[in-house]
Structure 1
């Protein structure tokens, strides 16, 4: 019997076959949401779906590559047909550079594959999901982002560039979405032990990881609307005092904080 706080709502989670995407999908199902699961491997999606169904939730698993617009379009149609309109989109699917290397030494094809997955993927999903949200004047979009979006890193140029661009994309669409009562947020889970993160050489000696259950709880709160006041902004779940962010959301918006902005070198900077 579903007794959760999100009964009757529909979520679509990308990269739902494993890692944090799988746990997010199961966590949303436990709160009563119907869950559309999107990923590239059918068996892992089915395994996630079985766990969601154990919570009494409805769900559907759809294989698709998020970088391919046609596949995404058909996947969204399947989710909407089987479950109903999407209330909550979680753009979780992602890739990271295969090696720690300077730009001039990377595999160019793999570099662009990372950018496509991390930026074009969310674009494709939003392009398909947002029209119905706009029509209903309701919806929430969560982009799983990273602290790499905020600082340069010469070892993971594709990942850092794509995450910075994703944060900028959210910023660029925030005002137009607000006019239709749709919330977009970018949240970094921090360093959590997934196959992707654990395989990065920079984390080879890491023994203390961020909490995936905590991140799942944060995502559930996003679905509930707890962080709507931070619309269009960046949250670092592993470092932020989330209660303080919620309390200061209005001041954060007025200060135009938690967004990517060029910092002028002084009052004489023409771009100040």
Structure 2
């Protein structure tokens, strides 16, 4: 369990090394050998604690060891992401271990799955992927955002491209106003 009052080092606003009260947590759903592992390593280097979620415990344990060698705090959570009903309990386990979830990376794709060309896609093939690629991500967002002040943490500013600043008035050109082109008369049939 994390201490309720981390000691600060010599006037710094950051806690002492090893105290993780302020470090963020990323949950990597689908921590496989490719993108998931890369995301875990990258965010770990940036100071995030890492929750790894996948089906294969053996691989997860090896990835946790790799991250630990790099000084990253990580934990493995085995789960089958094709079962959306299990997601709330999974996220609760992650929160029990880390206290929070700040970032989610969702990318479960295994070598057992194959991409189907769009011309060959039919309803039966599409139906197989619905739990993992549609229903489970919805449950992940619901479970992670439960109890979060969604108005403050999950929304974009009013004009997100300008970081919340009001839009500027259009620039006025100096000098005389531009002349309008004369309208051509409409052609009538002969």
Quick check: 1:100 aligned with 2:117? Answer: yes
One of 123, 136, 153 as aligned partner of 1:181: 153
Q: 1:183: Cα distance to partner?
A: 4.9
Q: CA deviation at 1:37?
A: 0.6
Q: CA deviation at 1:86?
A: 0.8
1:56-75 correspondence runs (5 A): 56-75=71-90
CA distance in 1, matches of 2:66, 2:80: 22
- Cα shift readout 1:144-172 (whole Å, capped 9, x = no counterpart): xxxxxxxxxxxxxxxxxxxxxxxxxxxxx
Distance 1:101 1:91, change over 3 A: closer
- In the alignment, which residue of structure 2 is the partner of 1:54? 69
Contact 2:84/2:132, CA 8 A, preserved across alignment: no
Distance 2:83 2:77 in 1: 14
**Helix, strand or coil: the match of 2:152?**
coil
Q: Secondary structure, in 3 states, of the residue corresponding to 1:12?
A: strand
User: Counterpart in 2 of 1:15?
Assistant: 30
For 2:155 and 2:75, the matched residues in 1 are separated by 24
1:151-166 paired onto structure 2 within 5 Å = none
Q: Which runs of 5+ in 1 are unaligned?
A: 138-176, 185-227, 232-248, 256-272
Match of 1:123 in 2: 138
Distance 1:81 1:92 in 2: 23
Gaps of 5+ in 2: 1-15, 168-190
Aligned in 2, Cα 1:45/1:181: closer, same or farther, shift over 3 Å?
Answer: same
SS at structure 2 position matched to 1:102? helix
Q: CA deviation at 1:67?
A: 3.2
Give the TM-score taking structure 2 as reference length. 0.63
CA offset digits 1:80-106 (Å, max 9, x no partner): 111111111222224775432525x64
Greater fraction helix:
1
CA contact (8 A) 1:36 1:79 kept: yes
Aligned residue pair count: 147
Q: TM-score, normalised by structure 1?
A: 0.46
Deviating beyond 4 angstroms after TM superposition, the runs of 4 or more aligned structure 1 residues are: 94-97, 228-231
* Cα-to-partner distance string for 1:208-256 (whole Å, 9 max, x where unaligned): xxxxxxxxxxxxxxxxxxxx8996xxxxxxxxxxxxxxxxx229x999x
Partner Cα separation in structure 2 for residue 122 and residue 66 of structure 1 = 9
Give me the whole-angstrom Cα distance separating, in 1, the residues matched to 2:38 and 2:17. 18
Corresponding position of 1:76: 91
Contact 2:83–2:131 under 8 Å retained in 1? no
Assess if the C-alpha contact under 8 Å between 2:95 and 2:101 holds in 1: yes
1:181 to 1:41, Cα distance in 2 relative to 1, 3 A: same
